[in-house]
Each structure stands twice: as structure tokens, then as C-alpha cells.
Structure 1
């Protein structure tokens, strides 16, 4: 396995699947001597980032019930 010029590596699919590492999973690195360990972050910010990006973006002044009725075709 090679490190790219940007310092990136590919985690093999079998390891990602075994650990439940989906795209955009937050990870942590730990250096122990001459080894580098990677693990899923204890606290994920994946959902938080999405909510922050979407917060305050709505331009529609409809209630949730009105939006649900429209979505359901009622």
C-alpha cells in the first residue's frame, strides 16, 4: 500500500466493512512508537456537520404538517 502525494491511503474494504466505517466516518489516529493506529472517533461529528450546513437555509414558511401534506399529496 502506498501513501499518495497528498498523504492519503486507502483502507481495504474488508477492514472498513468489519469495523462499520462508512464514507465520511470520523477517525482518530494514535502513534505508539513506530506504529500508527486508526480507529473510529469516539464522538462523531458527521451528523453535526450536516445539520450545521443546513441550519437556517430554509426559505419556505410552511409548517411541518403543511410540508408533510404536500409531500404525501394530500
Structure 2
């Protein structure tokens, strides 16, 4: 398959490729150069990096004092 580059540097990804990669409007993609020098289109990794606060997201946690919470946010705990 081929696509035409516009004057703005844009291309339309063919539907068969979008379907194969599971791309939908708003999807992010990465362009990666492999060992052979080819540029490969991949869905971008959109996972959020693990945070030391992730286990507390959405609730305050019972039994923690203000001092405990402050120590946690400072990295002391």
C-alpha cells in the first residue's frame, strides 16, 4: 500500500493498516527505526508510568495522619 504526502507533511494511513493496528481517531502512533534502517509505524505506548501514589489514588486511606501523608509525599515514608 502507498499513501501520498501532503504539502503539510501529512499522510492518510490506509484503512487496512488502521484496522490491523487498532487505530481510531485520536490514536497516537510512534515511528520507530529498526535495525535494518526501515521506519515502522506502531501504536504509541500510552500506559501511565507507575507512581508511588497510585495505590492511594481515589481515596485518602483510612488511619493515616496528616504527618503520615506529608511524609509520604516528601518520600520520607
Aligned partner (choices 1, 7, 12) of residue 9 of structure 2? 7
Structure number with higher helix proportion: 1
State TM-score, norm by structure 2: 0.49
Moved over 4 A (4+): none
Give the unaligned 5+ runs of structure 1: 46-74
1:3-57 Cα shifts (integer Å, max 9, x gaps):
1111111111011012110001011111235421111011168xxxxxxxxxxxx
State TM-score, norm by structure 1: 0.51
Indicate the structure (1 or 2) with the bigger Cα radius of gyration.
2
Alpha-carbon distance between aligned partners in 2 of 1:44 and 1:12, rounded to the nearest angstrom: 25
Give the unaligned 5+ runs of structure 2: 49-77
